[in-house]
């Protein structure tokens, strides 16, 4: 049985009178690919951000490899966690190589093998000297993934990381992320609004509603009708789209 990579015990986060995350308890095994889905405002991104201390919970605790993340300095914690979000966040004045190397540099670690990291995310080494504005959206997001992995992270958090990409690039990069996850033995948590993406990439799907996890199922379980009303409402969207496309082609 795989070891436990991540545990959340009663994690709660409030913003004023709004309870964004409501007593969430969760265990994630090492090597899992977990998708976190739900409507806007359900608490997905806030929950993800409690894992790398971008957001401090009001109650509860988060443990990685059995260690409470509040026990040490946040920068040391983030060396073990890769975080990629929709806005990409590359430094515009820095080359691709320097963007990728920023994490290890801040940590005082040796400069990573940028060419190897670019190859890992299917980019040519020749891009290392370019600035972010010289790249396509898909290339920039690949650089962001390389930067997230540069410090040697084994836990990868993806917060709508594919959301700003065109559908073709989004699908291709999603498959590449899944392949990267398998090759490197990562533990990956993907926040997405796209239920089809969650079903195709993840081995476990968590559905959030009003700050709580209301379903915890495999993709096959969800497609078989399990998980409850909120989960099935999300599954119905790609299923209905597939039927409408089939009808157009009939």
pLDDT at site 87: 66
Cα gap 31→249, rounded to integer Å: 39
Cα separation, 215 vs 236, in Å, equals: 15
The pLDDT score that the predictor gives to residue 30 is 96
Tens digits of residue pLDDT in 89-108: 789 999 999 999 988 887 77
Assign 156 to helix, strand or coil. strand
Predicted TM-score (pTM) of the model is: 0.91
List the alpha helices (DSSP H) in the chain: 44-51, 74-78, 96-107, 114-120, 137-149, 167-184, 195-201, 219-223, 229-249
Answer for the pair 3, 40: CB distance below 8 angstroms, yes or no: no
Residue-level pLDDT at 1: 60
Q: Provide, rounded to the nearest whole percent, the portion of the chain with pLDDT above 70.
A: 96
CATH topology assigned to domain 1-75+194-250:
Rossmann fold (3.40.50)
Residues 206, 177: Cα–Cα separation, whole Å? 19
Bridge partner list, 18: 15
- 75 pLDDT higher than 80: no
**Domain boundaries along the sequence of the chain:** 1-75+194-250
- What is d(CA 166, CA 151) in angstroms, rounded to the nearest whole number? 29
Q: Report pLDDT digits (tens) over 49-60.
A: 999 888 999 999
Q: Dihedral through CA 86, CA 92, CA 94, CA 95, nearest 10?
A: 70
Rounded to the nearest integer, the mean pLDDT of the chain is 90
Confidence of residue 85 (pLDDT cuts 50, 70, 90): confident
188 HSE (CA, 13 A, CB side): 29
């Amino acid at each position: 049985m795989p070891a436990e990579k991540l545990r959340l015990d009663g994690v709660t986060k409030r913003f004023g009178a709004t309870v964004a995350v409501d007593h969430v308890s969760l265990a994630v095994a090492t090597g899992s690919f977990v998708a976190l889905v739900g409507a806007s405002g359900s608490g997905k991104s806030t929950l993800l951000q409690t894992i790398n201390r971008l957001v401090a919970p009001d109650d509860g605790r988060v443990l990685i490899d059995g260690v409470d993340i509040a026990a040490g300095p946040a920068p040391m914690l983030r060396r073990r966690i890769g975080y990629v979000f929709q806005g990409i966040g590359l430094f515009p004045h820095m080359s691709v190589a320097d963007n990728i190397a920023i994490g290890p540099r801040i940590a005082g670690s040796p400069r990573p093998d940028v060419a190897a990291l670019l190859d890992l995310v299917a980019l040519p080494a020749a891009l290392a000297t370019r600035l972010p504005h010289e790249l396509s959206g898909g290339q920039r997001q690949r650089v962001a993934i390389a930067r997230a992995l540069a410090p040697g992270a084994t836990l990868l958090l993806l917060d709508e990381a594919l959301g700003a990409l065109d559908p073709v690039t989004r699908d291709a990069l999603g498959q590449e992320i899944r392949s990267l996850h398998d090759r490197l033995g990562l533990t990956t948590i993907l926040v997405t609004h796209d239920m089809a993406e969650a079903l195709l990439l993840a081995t476990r799907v968590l559905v959030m509603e009003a700050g709580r996890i209301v379903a915890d199922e495999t993709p096959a379980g969800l497609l078989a009708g399990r998980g409850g009303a909120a989960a099935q409402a999300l599954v119905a969207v790609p299923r209905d789209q597939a039927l409408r496309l089939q009808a157009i082609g009939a």
